[in-house]
Amino acid sequence: MDSINKAFEIFEVFLENDDELSISNISKLSDINAGTVHRITSILVKRGYVIQPKRRGKYSLSTAKLVDFAKIVQQKLKIKTIAYPYLRELSQTVDEAVAMAHLLSHVAFLVIMINLDHVISFKPESSTLSLYSTGLGKIFLANMSEKELQDYVNTVVLKPRTQNTVTNVDDLKKQLTQIRRDGIAFEDEEHDLGMRTVSAPVKGWETNVVAAISVFGPSVRMTKQKMLEIAPIVKSYALKISHAIGYTKNTL
């Protein structure tokens, strides 16, 4: 069982890091000795989960395998089918693009994106987004337990994506406290320059956060005033989706 836990810990290191990693990198990040890391990583390579482009070179997660996982996850997410008409209506109401994401380890996994033509020159790099630099991600962070959040900040390096990215842990925690209190997350060009978002949580019947939805648009159109104006609308649609999947309370 211990070896299985270590395998998952190493796999999560690859999920949480975009860069190619050496055995020593993985060992340091996972706090597992290099010999064990090499043995488990070799198995992951053989199984196709990890690739080593150059012999004796560094390792990275297999994009093909991630795509396979993404397809399986999307097929099993009933919430996607339930949420889609609400998100379509939300997009039409605010006349901006809309997205929904689920938490996948230490990243936000996008499952719905609507009306991308409303976002000039926006090209999503992948189906995953960092948690600390996005409104969607901060919704998940704000609803983590204290231990889960501490594990996250101990594991993930808060790299600046723009000059607005919050990379100080104490400042991030202050933001999360407010998000938890208000039930809404505002992102002001923290993940991508020229983009602003307004996000809210979707809760299930056990009141846990099962997804996050977001309205996003170019800062020239998505002014700070507009963000404040659409915030209650985003929250109302998040509540509608929550009720549709079994949430029974009247507020998020």
* DSSP letter string, 75-129: HH-HHHHHHHHHHHHHHHHHTSEEEEEEEETTEEEEEEEE-GGGSTT---S-SEE
Q: Look at the block and give the residue holding tokens 């039409």.
A: 92
Residue 193's pLDDT is: 92
- Residues 230 and 92: beta-carbon distance below 8 Å: no
In whole angstroms, give the CA distance from residue 188 to residue 175. Answer: 12
The CATH class, in words, for 73-244 is alpha beta
Domain boundaries, given as residue ranges, for the chain: 2-61, 73-244
Give the DSSP H or E segment for 31: none
Answer whether 0.75 is exceeded by the pTM.
Answer: no
User: 46 vs 10, 51, 132, 152, CA distance in Å?
Assistant: 15, 9, 33, 29
Per-residue pLDDT of the chain (252 residues; tens, 9 = 90+): 477 778 888 888 887 877 788 999 998 888 899 899 899 998 888 888 888 877 777 888 887 777 777 665 555 568 888 999 999 999 999 999 999 999 988 899 999 999 877 665 445 555 789 999 999 999 999 999 999 999 999 989 899 999 999 999 999 999 999 999 999 999 999 999 999 999 999 998 878 899 999 999 999 999 999 999 999 999 999 999 999 988 888 888
Question: What is the fold of 2-61?
Answer: Arc Repressor Mutant, subunit A (1.10.10)
Contact partners, residue 28, CB within 8 Å, separation at least 6: none
